[in-house]
């Protein structure tokens, strides 16, 4: 750096300084060096330009924003190189954290966000999840958090790069000094001076016993944990939308069942009125039939309200306004398996390898271990190279002497270089307490990882049991619904032909409504529980992950 400054100064002298009797005259008078003003201005401008270019080049080589996910609407997955570098092994058969993809999804999002009505286009679960990942603010918040952690890696890595600081100071000063009368008739001396002092400082770390590298590793592991947290937010969002979707489907089925129950009670009411008109029934039968019809109408209105509430819950899970109009496609009929995989431990092992929260805990543990190493390294000395390149550019005019002298000017560089060693001896126990704090945080991270492992094991086991129970309930509800339909048809026909009672027909209608409602709830619950199992094992990465048949296939 010193040679570079000297080179530029010599270059300017040779190019812009001409011989005697020119307008820009470099002269020497009484040991004082005078430089022309154009030379001084060019030296300052080119020096600042060189410093700016150097600072820009150094800053551009430490951009670590690529540690963060590329976009907020898609889950993140580590590359093979990153996984190998950080010791993370993805389980076999897991394709990674991929989101659902649909054609022209951007247009769909724009239409819904802008509340533009869609002409007859029904949205499937895959499309609903895709819209939720684009519009829900939770994904944007998690993405920004991951970006902030990635930027922190660059901040930590800056400690290994040269630290260059440019500073400058300039101004004007008037000074007065007393002098004996034989030197000055006035008895004092005055000087008017103006100066400009640019300074370029260098601080370059040579060795600090691994403290800075440990801090960089801590930041890298923290960024990795934030990336896994970003994926965890996406998986939680997918599960929330899936649950809300099947809850809405169940509410729609309940509403349809309530409507059929209303029609059945209306049929019995007409039969009771007809029998009473022919003298075969009583007024009590007609009143009972009217009461049952009113009760069925009340249940239908309540089922419709529950359907509207479930739809608003789905919109809320997607991050959309509750007043938005959506045409939602009903779930396709899926074949339910007859049995579940019995190897729960295999599901648990797959979950421990692919759950983003567990992998985030592992990264946090490694970050705390790196923080402990950095705290211990802070007890060692820090060795750095320090250098300063500065210049004194100014003029000085003195008054009060017997012989008037012209103003003197100067524009000269100054350089210095040092090997600096910093070794704090005593800081009131701050370093020791920093080590104790890092050790405590490491133990906390270990406990968090252990707790999450226990939680994962419990969630996988519980979700597997709940899915098995839901499958059994669906089978029972289907038999119940079929037999209740047969019983109602027989009881209603018997009452219409005068061989049955209204009480039997009414009980059969109530039992049919309850059986249909139980079937609707159990079918929605089995699909929801399948999604919960996929989420518990870390495999709910898209709407395809909610497929019951795939989840029953095992890891």
Is 99 part of any domain?
no
Same domain, 280 and 394: no
Of the pLDDT bands very low, low, confident and very high (cuts 50, 70, 90), residue 194 is very high
| Separation between Cα atoms, residue 501 and residue 328, nearest integer Å | 42
Q: Specify the residue for token string 């902030």.
A: 148
pLDDT at 63: 54
Tell me what the mean pLDDT of segment 308-323 comes to.
90
Same domain, 156 and 166: no
Quick count: other Cβ atoms within 10 Å of Cβ 93?
A: 10
Is 21 part of any domain?
no
Q: Specify the residue for token string 């286009």.
A: 121
Nearest to 64 by CA among 162, 163, 148, 140: 148
Tell me what the mean pLDDT of segment 504-509 comes to.
89
Tell me what the mean pLDDT of segment 307-314 comes to.
93
pLDDT at 216: 94
pLDDT at 131: 87
| Strand spans (E) along 374-525 | 382-399, 408-422
**Residue of higher predicted confidence among 358 and 98:** 358
Nearest to 240 by CA among 143, 331, 316, 322: 316
Q: Is the pLDDT of residue 537 over 70?
A: yes
pLDDT at 82: 52
Q: Is the pLDDT of residue 382 over 60?
A: yes
**Residue of higher predicted confidence among 438 and 276:** 438
- Is 523 exposed, middle or buried, given 0-12, 13-18 or 19+ CB atoms closer than 10 A? buried
Please list, residue by residue across 102-115, b when 16 or more beta carbons sit within 10 angstroms of its beta carbon and e when fewer do. Answer: eeebeebbeebeee
Is 303 part of any domain?
yes
Lowest mean pLDDT among 135-139, 361-365, 485-489: 135-139
Interval 199-258: pLDDT, tens: 999 999 999 999 999 999 999 999 999 999 998 999 999 999 999 999 999 999 999 999
pLDDT at 182: 73
Please say which residue of 367, 400, 422 terminates a domain: 422
| Separation between Cα atoms, residue 451 and residue 438, nearest integer Å | 20
Please say which residue of 366, 391, 422 terminates a domain: 422
197: left (phi over 0), alpha (psi -120 to 50) or beta: beta
pLDDT at 15: 35
Q: Is the pLDDT of residue 473 over 80?
A: yes
The dihedrals phi and psi of 482, each to the nearest 5 degrees, come to -65, -45
Q: CATH number of the domain that 138 lies in?
A: 1.20.1600.10
Taking the complete model, does pTM exceed 0.75, yes or no?
Answer: no
**Residue of higher predicted confidence among 462 and 403:** 462
Is 188 part of any domain?
yes
Interval 14-69: pLDDT, tens: 333 333 333 333 333 333 333 334 434 444 445 445 545 454 454 445 555 555 56
pLDDT at 515: 92
Q: Is the pLDDT of residue 489 over 50?
A: yes
Same domain, 196 and 341: no
| Strand spans (E) along 84-214 | 163-178, 188-207
Contacts of 222 (CB under 8 A, 6+ apart): 149, 152, 363, 364, 367
pLDDT at 18: 33
Nearest to 537 by CA among 466, 447, 458: 458
pLDDT at 301: 94
Tell me what the mean pLDDT of segment 308-327 comes to.
89
Please say which residue of 402, 422, 442 terminates a domain: 422
Q: Is the pLDDT of residue 159 over 80?
A: yes
Q: Which segment, 47-51, 329-333, 355-359, is predicted with the most confidence on average? A: 355-359
| Separation between Cα atoms, residue 223 and residue 153, nearest integer Å | 7
pLDDT at 112: 44
CB-based contact 224:87 (threshold 8 Å): no
Same domain, 281 and 337: yes
Please report, rounded to a whole number, the percentage of residues in the chain having pLDDT higher than 70.
74
Same domain, 318 and 413: no
pLDDT at 37: 40
Tokens of residue 376, six digits: 């211990």
Chain mean pLDDT for the chain: 78
Is 452 part of any domain?
yes
Of the pLDDT bands very low, low, confident and very high (cuts 50, 70, 90), residue 70 is low
Nearest to 193 by CA among 216, 213, 177, 212: 177
pLDDT at 313: 93
DSSP, res 322: T
**Residue of higher predicted confidence among 533 and 31:** 533
Q: Give the domain extent around 413.
A: 162-207+382-422
| Separation between Cα atoms, residue 270 and residue 289, nearest integer Å | 8
Same domain, 194 and 273: no
Please report, rounded to a whole number, the percentage of residues in the chain having pLDDT higher than 90.
38
pLDDT at 545: 44
Same domain, 435 and 446: yes
| Separation between Cα atoms, residue 139 and residue 236, nearest integer Å | 10
| Separation between Cα atoms, residue 326 and residue 248, nearest integer Å | 12
CB-based contact 209:380 (threshold 8 Å): yes
Same domain, 393 and 455: no
pLDDT at 81: 56
Same domain, 188 and 242: no
- If one counts the domains in the chain, the total is 2
Tokens of residue 333, six digits: 């009929």
| Separation between Cα atoms, residue 513 and residue 296, nearest integer Å | 9
pLDDT at 186: 78
Same domain, 121 and 236: yes
pLDDT at 550: 45
Is 459 part of any domain?
yes
| Separation between Cα atoms, residue 432 and residue 216, nearest integer Å | 21
- Is 171 exposed, middle or buried, given 0-12, 13-18 or 19+ CB atoms closer than 10 A? exposed
Interval 336-352: pLDDT, tens: 766 676 788 888 998 88
Is 274 part of any domain?
yes
Tell me what the mean pLDDT of segment 190-200 comes to.
92
CB-based contact 219:152 (threshold 8 Å): yes
Same domain, 155 and 186: no
Same domain, 370 and 509: yes
Nearest to 394 by CA among 171, 167, 166, 191: 171
Is 555 part of any domain?
no
Tokens of residue 143, six digits: 């993405």
């Amino acid at each position: 750096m010193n040679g570079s400054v000297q080179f530029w100064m010599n270059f300017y002298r040779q190019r812009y300084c001409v011989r005697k009797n020119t307008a820009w005259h470099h002269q020497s008078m009484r040991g004082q060096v005078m430089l022309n003003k154009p030379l001084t201005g060019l030296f300052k401008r080119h020096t600042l330009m060189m410093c700016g270019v150097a600072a820009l080049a150094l800053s551009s080589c430490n951009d670590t924003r690529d540690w963060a996910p590329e976009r907020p609407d898609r889950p993140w997955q580590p590359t093979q190189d990153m996984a190998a570098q950080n010791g993370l092994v993805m389980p076999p058969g897991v394709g990674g954290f991929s989101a659902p993809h649909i054609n022209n999804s951007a247009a769909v999002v724009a239409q819904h966000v802008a509340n533009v009505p869609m002409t007859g286009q029904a949205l499937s679960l895959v499309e609903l999840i895709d819209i939720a990942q684009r519009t829900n603010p939770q994904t944007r918040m998690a993405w920004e958090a991951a970006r902030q952690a990635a930027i922190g890696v660059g901040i930590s890595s800056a400690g290994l790069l040269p630290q260059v600081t440019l500073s400058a100071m300039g101004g004007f000063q008037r000074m007065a000094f007393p002098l004996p009368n034989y030197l000055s008739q006035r008895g004092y001396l005055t000087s008017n001076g103006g100066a400009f002092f640019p300074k370029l400082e260098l601080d370059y770390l040579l060795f600090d016993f691994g403290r800075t590298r440990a801090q960089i590793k801590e930041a890298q592991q923290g960024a990795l944990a934030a990336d896994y947290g970003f994926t965890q937010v996406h998986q939680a969002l997918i599960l929330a939308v899936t649950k809300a979707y099947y809850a809405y489907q169940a509410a729609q089925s309940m509403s349809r069942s309530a409507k059929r129950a209303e029609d059945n009670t209306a049929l019995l009411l007409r039969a009771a009125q007809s029998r009473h008109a022919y003298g075969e029934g009583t007024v009590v039968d007609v009143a009972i039939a009217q009461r049952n019809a009113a009760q069925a109408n009340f249940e239908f209105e309540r089922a419709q309200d529950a359907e509207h509430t479930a739809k608003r819950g789905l919109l809320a899970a997607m991050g959309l306004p509750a007043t938005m109009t959506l045409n939602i496609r009903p779930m396709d009929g899926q074949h339910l398996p007859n049995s579940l995989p019995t190897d729960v431990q295999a599901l648990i092992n797959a979950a421990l390898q692919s759950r983003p929260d567990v992998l985030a805990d592992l990264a946090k543990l490694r970050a705390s271990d790196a923080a402990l190493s950095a705290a211990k390294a802070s007890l060692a000395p820090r060795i750095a190279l320090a250098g300063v390149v500065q210049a004194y550019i100014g003029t000085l005019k003195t008054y009060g002497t017997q012989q008037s002298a012209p103003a003197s000017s100067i524009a000269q560089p100054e350089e210095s270089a040092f090997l600096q060693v910093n070794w704090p001896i005593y800081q009131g126990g701050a370093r020791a307490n920093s080590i104790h704090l890092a050790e405590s945080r490491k133990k906390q991270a270990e406990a968090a990882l252990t707790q999450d492992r226990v939680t994962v094991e419990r969630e996988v086991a519980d979700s597997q049991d709940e899915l098995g129970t839901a499958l059994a309930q669906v089978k029972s509800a289907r038999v119940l619904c079929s037999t209740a339909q047969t019983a109602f048809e027989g009881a209603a026909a018997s009452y219409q032909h005068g061989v049955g009672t209204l009480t039997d027909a009414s009980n059969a209608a109530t039992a049919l409504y309850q059986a249909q409602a139980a079937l609707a709830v159990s079918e929605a619950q089995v699909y929801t529980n399948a999604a919960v199992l996929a989420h518990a094992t870390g495999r709910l990465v898209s709407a395809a992950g909610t497929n019951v048949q795939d989840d029953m296939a095992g890891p």
